[in-house]
């Protein structure tokens, strides 16, 4: 079982999330009542929908992780899952995302093609980071 499959199975059991197709057209999504929260694009790459405020609040922590990729102006972060610790990180971030979306002001909403609320991307259209982030493999512990 891949790290993304393990994460998906664990998150799908959460009562606040339901599964469906990702609005970007690639992969599966887990959605809250208000928004798409997570897109599973491959066996290792996941996009997580945070609010602008949550990304600002945790910017230094997110930027310091080798598993996280940030795209300027995006309210999505890409998480590359290589190991169980990355899966645990994703689950923690999903919890933060759910809380952030519950407390997000209504002015932070924009309709997505799926009909759910979503974040505007850099061009003003909603969307995750799929095809906007290239994740390079991390060096093995002895390779650095």
Q: What is the CATH number of the domain that holds 23?
A: 3.90.1150
Residue 109 lies in a domain: yes
Asked whether the beta carbons of 52 and 23 are under 8 A apart, the reply is no
What's the distance, Cα to Cα, between the start and end of the chain in Å? 28
The per-residue pLDDT for 127 is 79
pTM (predicted TM-score): 0.77
Residue 23 lies in a domain: yes
What total number of domains does the chain contain? 1
Residue 114 lies in a domain: yes
Residue 128 lies in a domain: no
Residue 60 lies in a domain: yes
What are the tens digits of pLDDT across the range 91-112?
Answer: 999 999 999 998 766 544 443 4
What are the tens digits of pLDDT across the range 108-127?
Answer: 444 344 444 444 433 333 57
Task: Summarize the chain as % helix, strand, coil (round to 5).
Answer: 30, 25, 45
- Residue 120, token pair as written in the block: 């505007």
Asked whether the beta carbons of 63 and 71 are under 8 A apart, the reply is no
- Residue 136, token pair as written in the block: 């390079």
Residue 137 lies in a domain: no
């Amino acid at each position: 079982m891949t790290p993304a499959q393990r994460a998906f199975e664990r998150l799908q059991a959460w009562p606040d999330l339901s599964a469906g197709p990702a609005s970007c057209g690639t992969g599966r999504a887990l959605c809250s009542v208000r928004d798409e929260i997570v897109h599973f694009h491959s066996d290792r790459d996941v996009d997580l929908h945070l609010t602008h405020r949550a990304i600002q609040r945790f910017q230094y922590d997110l930027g310091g992780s080798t598993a996280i990729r940030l795209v300027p102006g995006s309210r999505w972060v890409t998480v590359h899952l290589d190991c169980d610790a990355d899966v645990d990180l994703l689950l923690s971030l999903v919890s933060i995302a759910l809380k952030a979306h519950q407390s997000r002001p209504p002015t932070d909403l924009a309709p997505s093609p799926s009909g759910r609320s979503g974040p505007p991307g850099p061009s003003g259209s909603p969307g995750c980071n799929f095809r906007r982030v290239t994740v390079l493999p991390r060096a093995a512990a002895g390779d650095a």
